[in-house]
C-alpha cells in the first residue's frame, strides 16, 4: 500500500485540478491522478478543456476572427493592410504554445499548493482505495478518506461516420488541420460544431453544417437563436436543419456523406468532415464492479445536489455527472465538494450557470428563456435592446445582435438574460450575478453603467422591461 491521503482526485481537468487545489488550501493532504499524454509524450494536466477543448478552440477562433477583421473590416476604419494572408501552421503552433503554458501552469499551481500529482490511470477499487496504473503498466493502490471522480467526457461517435486518421475527425482532430479544407462538412449545429465551423469558414472553407434536429439552438431563447442563425448564414455557414446523416464513404482524399431531409435522400462530398454530435461521460473503467456506485444507462454517475455518490466518501463532479458539460460548472462543483470534505457548508446554484457560444458575435445566456418561463406558467415581461443603437458597438464595428432580459411580471425578478453580440460571454456575468442575488429588472435599470460600453445594452434592456428605455423607442407604454 502506498501513501495515504485525505483526498484523491481522479482527473485533472477544470473540475479535478480545481478540486485538488481547493482541498489542499483547506489543509487536506491531496493527490490528483491524471493520464493525459501531451504532444511531447509526457503527462499533462488540464483535461479536455485546456488540451483539446475550451482553450485551443478559442485560440483558433480569436486568430481567425482577427484575420477576417484585417481582411474585410480594417479598410473601413482607415487602416490599409494590403493582401492579408493566414499562416495556418503558425496559427496552430501558437495554439499549442498557449496550451503548453497553461498545462505547465497547473503543474506549478499543484507544487505551490502542495498537491501531489500522480501520473497514470486512476480507478476506484474500494470506498477508500484508488488503484493507479502507471505509464509502465505497474499498478499502485492508494488510500484516501475521500475520493473525487472528475474523469470528464469524450466525443460521441456515430456509426454512419466512423472516424479516420485525417478525413473524418472529431473536435480534437479539427484543431489540427494544417490548411483550410476547400469543402468542410460539420455534423451537429451545437456549440462545438458552430465554433469549429466558424473557424474554418473564416479561413476560406465552404462549410456545410448538417443538423438532425428541425430547430436551431433549441436551448437558446427563440429570438436570440433566430438572430444567431441569420448572422451565421450571412457569414457563409450553410446550416441544414432536419438533415439526419445515414452513411459515409471515404474515397481517396474526400468523403461522400449521405443524409435524409424533408426532400428525401441526399448526399454531399467534402474534403474533411467533423463529427460534433455531443459528448458522453468518461466513466468506463474508472469504477470497479460491485462497489455500489450507481450509474445510469448512459454512463453518468448518480449524485445528489452536493455531488455525493451512493458510496460514502466518494464524490463525482463535472462532465461525468448530471447537468451541462461546462468547464466552469465542473470547477464550481470541485470547489463545493472540497469545502464540504473540509467540513464547511457549501452549495451550488445550478439555476445560475452561464452558457456561451464563442462564434462572432458571441451568444451567451443564463437562467430561463422566455419560452421556458411561459411553459412553467410564469407570466413574464421582456425587455431587449439592439446593439445597432449602441454608440460603443458602432465604434467597435459590432452592431449586430441584442441583449434581452426576461423578468417575472408580478415580482420583477430577473429570470434570465440572453445576449448575442460582441463580448456577450463577458457581459453575461451581469445576468449570473442578478440571478444569484435575486435582483429585479429595476435593480439593473437603476444601476449606473459606464459610457460608452457594450454592457449599456444590458442596462437599456432592463429599462425596456417596463418601457423606460432611453436610447430607443419603447414598445410598452411608460407607467
Residues 352-378: tens digit of each pLDDT: 999 999 999 999 999 999 999 999 999
Q: pLDDT band for position 79 (50/70/90)? A: very high
Residue 298 has pLDDT above 90, yes or no: yes
CATH topology of domain 353-464: Enolase-like; domain 1 (3.30.390)
Alpha-carbon distance of 377 to 368, in angstroms, equals 12
Q: Which one, of 422, 300, 406, 282, lies nearest residue 356 by Cα?
A: 422
CATH of 168-277, one of 3.50.50.60, 3.40.109.10, 3.40.50.300, 3.40.50.150: 3.50.50.60
Strand pairing category for 206-211 and 238-241: parallel
- The domain segmentation of the chain, as residue ranges, is 4-155+280-348, 168-277, 353-464
Residue 476 has pLDDT above 80, yes or no: no
Are the beta carbons of 211 and 241 closer than 8 angstroms? Answer: yes
Residue positions annotated with a catalytic role: 451
Q: pLDDT band for position 475 (50/70/90)? A: confident
CA-based Rg of the chain, rounded to a whole angstrom? 24
Residue 8 has pLDDT above 60, yes or no: yes
Q: Give the pLDDT confidence score for residue 383 in this predicted structure.
A: 98
Q: Cα angle vertex 339, ends 114, 122, to 5°?
A: 60
The secondary element (H helix, E strand) that includes residue 250 is: strand 244-251
Beta bridge partners of 241: 211
Residue 89 has pLDDT above 80, yes or no: yes
Alpha-carbon distance of 317 to 24, in angstroms, equals 17
Q: For the chain, what's the residue count?
A: 479
Alpha-carbon distance of 158 to 26, in angstroms, equals 43
Cell of 76: 473601413
Residue 336 has pLDDT above 80, yes or no: yes
Q: Give the pLDDT confidence score for residue 398 in this predicted structure.
A: 97
Q: Does the pTM exceed 0.75?
A: yes
Class of residue 12 by CB neighbours under 10 A (exposed 0-12, middle 13-18, buried 19+): buried
Alpha-carbon distance of 444 to 446, in angstroms, equals 5
Average pLDDT over residues 429-453: 98
Alpha-carbon distance of 279 to 287, in angstroms, equals 19
Residue 1 has pLDDT above 80, yes or no: no
Alpha-carbon distance of 400 to 360, in angstroms, equals 9
Residue 237 has pLDDT above 90, yes or no: yes
| Same topology between domain 4-155+280-348 and domain 168-277 | yes
Average pLDDT over residues 242-269: 97
User: What is the residue-averaged pLDDT of the chain?
Assistant: 97
Alpha-carbon distance of 296 to 271, in angstroms, equals 38
Are the beta carbons of 286 and 122 closer than 8 angstroms? Answer: yes
Percent of the chain at pLDDT exceeding 90: 97
Average pLDDT over residues 106-112: 98
Please, where are the H alpha helices in 114-249? 191-202, 222-235
End-to-end CA distance of the chain: 73
Average pLDDT over residues 464-469: 96
Predicted confidence (pLDDT) per residue in 130-189, tens digit: 999 999 999 999 999 999 999 999 999 999 999 998 999 999 999 999 999 999 999 999
Task: Give CA 478 to chain center in angstroms.
Answer: 39
The secondary element (H helix, E strand) that includes residue 146 is: strand 139-149
Q: pLDDT band for position 477 (50/70/90)? A: low
Class of residue 103 by CB neighbours under 10 A (exposed 0-12, middle 13-18, buried 19+): buried
Give the CA count within 13 Å in the CB-facing half-sphere of 19: 36
Residue 478 has pLDDT above 60, yes or no: no
CATH topology of domain 4-155+280-348: FAD/NAD(P)-binding domain (3.50.50)
Residues in Cβ contact with 238 at an 8 Å cutoff, skipping those fewer than 6 apart:
206, 207, 208, 209
Residue 2 has pLDDT above 90, yes or no: no
Amino acid at each position: 500500500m502506498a501513501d495515504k491521503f485525505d483526498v484523491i482526485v481522479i482527473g485533472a481537468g477544470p473540475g479535478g485540478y480545481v478540486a485538488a487545489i481547493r482541498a489542499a488550501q483547506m489543509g487536506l493532504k491531496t493527490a490528483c491522478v491524471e493520464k493525459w499524454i501531451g504532444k511531447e509524450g509526457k503527462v499533462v494536466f488540464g483535461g479536455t478543456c485546456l488540451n483539446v477543448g475550451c482553450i485551443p478552440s478559442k485560440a483558433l477562433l480569436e486568430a481567425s476572427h482577427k484575420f477576417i477583421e484585417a481582411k474585410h473590416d480594417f479598410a473601413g476604419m482607415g487602416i490599409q493592410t494590403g493582401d492579408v494572408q493566414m499562416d495556418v501552421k503558425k496559427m496552430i503552433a501558437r495554439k499549442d504554445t498557449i496550451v503548453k503554458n497553461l498545462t505547465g501552469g497547473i503543474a506549478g499551481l499543484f507544487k505551490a499548493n502542495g498537491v501531489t500529482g500522480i501520473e497514470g490511470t486512476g480507478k476506484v477499487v474500494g470506498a477508500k482505495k484508488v488503484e493507479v496504473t502507471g505509464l509502465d503498466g505497474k499498478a499502485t493502490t492508494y488510500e484516501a478518506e475521500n475520493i473525487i471522480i472528475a474523469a470528464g467526457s469524450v466525443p460521441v461517435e456515430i456509426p454512419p461516420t466512423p472516424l479516420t486518421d485525417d478525413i473524418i475527425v472529431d473536435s480534437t482532430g479539427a484543431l489540427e488541420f494544417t490548411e483550410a479544407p476547400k469543402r468542410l462538412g460539420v455534423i451537429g449545429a451545437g456549440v462545438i460544431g458552430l465554433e469549429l465551423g466558424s473557424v474554418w469558414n473564416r479561413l476560406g472553407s465552404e462549410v456545410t453544417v448538417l443538423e438532425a434536429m428541425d430547430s436551431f439552438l433549441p436551448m437558446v431563447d427563440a429570438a436570440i437563436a433566430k438572430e444567431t442563425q441569420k448572422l451565421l448564414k450571412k457569414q457563409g455557414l450553410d446550416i441544414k436543419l432536419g438533415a439526419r446523416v445515414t452513411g459515409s464513404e471515404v474515397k481517396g482524399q474526400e468523403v461522400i456523406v449521405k443524409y435524409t431531409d424533408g426532400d428525401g435522400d441526399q448526399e454531399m462530398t467534402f474534403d474533411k468532415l467533423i463529427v460534433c454530435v455531443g459528448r458522453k461521460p468518461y466513466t468506463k473503467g474508472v469504477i470497479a464492479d460491485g462497489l455500489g456506485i450507481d450509474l445510469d444507462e448512459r454512463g453518468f454517475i448518480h449524485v445528489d445536489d452536493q455531488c455525493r455518490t451512493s458510496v460514502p466518501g466518494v464524490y463525482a463532479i463535472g462532465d461525468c455527472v448530471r447537468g451541462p458539460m461546462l468547464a466552469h460548472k465542473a470547477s464550481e462543483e470541485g470547489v463545493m465538494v472540497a469545502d464540504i470534505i473540509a467540513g464547511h457548508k457549501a452549495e451550488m446554484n445550478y439555476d445560475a450557470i452561464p452558457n456561451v457560444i464563442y462564434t462572432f458575435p458571441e451568444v451567451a445566456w443564463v437562467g430561463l428563456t422566455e419560452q421556458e418561463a411561459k411553459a412553467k406558467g410564469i407570466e413574464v415581461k421582456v425587455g431587449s435592446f439592439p446593439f445597432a443603437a449602441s454608440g460603443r458597438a458602432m465604434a467597435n464595428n459590432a452592431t449586430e445582435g441584442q441583449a434581452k432580459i426576461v423578468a417575472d411580471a408580478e415580482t420583477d425578478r430577473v429570470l434570465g438574460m440572453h445576449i448575442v453580440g460582441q463580448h456577450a460571454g463577458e457581459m453575461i456575468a451581469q445576468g449570473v450575478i442578478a440571478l444569484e442575488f435575486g435582483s429585479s429588472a429595476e435593480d439593473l435599470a437603476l444601476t449606473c453603467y459606464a459610457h460608452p460600453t457594450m454592457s449599456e445594452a444590458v442596462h437599456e434592456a432592463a429599462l425596456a422591461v417596463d418601457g423606460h428605455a432611453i436610447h430607443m423607442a419603447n414598445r410598452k407604454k411608460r407607467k
